Amino acid sequence: MVNVIKAPEPIAIPVAGSDDSFPVHRVFCVGRNYAEHAREMGHDPDREAPFFFEKHTSALLFAPAPDGANFPYPQKTSDVHHEIELVVALGKGGNDISVEKAFDHVWGYAVGIDFTRRDLQGVAKKAGRPWEIGKSFDHSGPIGMIHPIGESGHMAEGHIRLDVNGERRQDGNLNELIWKIPEIISYLSELFTLQPGDLIFTGTPAGVGPVVKGDVLDGHVEGLSSIRVTVT
Ligand code: MN
């Protein structure tokens, strides 16, 4: 059988320190997973179960420092926000994964940004509509090289930060995550059959804000390769 149109290119992210790559299956994202960020968005962090949305895999933008990648300012918005996040890469899938076993499913980690068309997301929130157009647009998921856990170890703490034009905008620690990585994996696995290749953006610390054309964003998580994004 012959494909009637050109098949989409598989999406794969390079692995740090090797010529290997990590093929991506899906991209899940956790909402409001740091208390200060939940508060800055007008919510009470103590009263919410974890919740999720997805970005399309084609929205990933490989942006390893030092050169990074260009982020074309997207259409139909005038309020694009940066959200620096730790990304978990799953090497093993499954359903109903226990919190105790969840780390066995992690292959590695990367730095990511969950770019958000905040104005469109705001309209969707008010109208009770899905977040797709606010969250899952082209280039909305910059990501750095994936580090295997052998190298990074399991990540429960460490600085996470984002600078815009050399000025610190977001500064947090992974130990402030409301829902910890094993809890996120366990909870998600009750909702979806997780697959090898699934990525999870784990939420952003406080300090989110708008970007404009010309901005240079430097994202960093302690122990991982940094990312750089230039807004064009
Ligand atoms: Mn986010």
Closest CA to 220 of 60, 86, 33, 67: 86
First and final CA of the chain: distance in angstroms?
42
Taking a 5 Å cut-off on Cβ, the residues next to ion ligand 1 are: 83, 114, 204
* Portion of the chain with pLDDT greater than 90, in percent: 92
What CA–CA distances, in Å, run from 184 to 28, 57, 174? 10, 19, 13
| Residue 57 pLDDT class (50, 70, 90 cuts) | very high
Kindly give the distance from the C-alpha atom of residue 56 to the centroid of ligand 1, in angstroms, as a whole number.
14
- The alpha carbon dihedral of 21, 211, 137, 90 has a sign of positive
Q: What is the pLDDT of residues 79-127, one digit of tens each?
A: 999 999 999 999 999 999 999 999 999 999 999 999 999 999 999 999 9
Task: Find the radius of gyration of the CA atoms of the chain.
Answer: 17
Enumerate the H helices of the chain as residue ranges: 35-40, 118-127, 132-135, 149-152, 181-191
| Residue 48 pLDDT class (50, 70, 90 cuts) | confident
Residue 49 has pLDDT above 90, yes or no: no
pTM above 0.85, yes or no: yes
Kindly give the distance from the C-alpha atom of residue 140 to the centroid of ligand 1, in angstroms, as a whole number.
11
Q: What is the pLDDT of residues 179-232, one digit of tens each?
A: 999 999 999 999 999 999 999 999 999 999 999 999 999 999 999 999 999 999
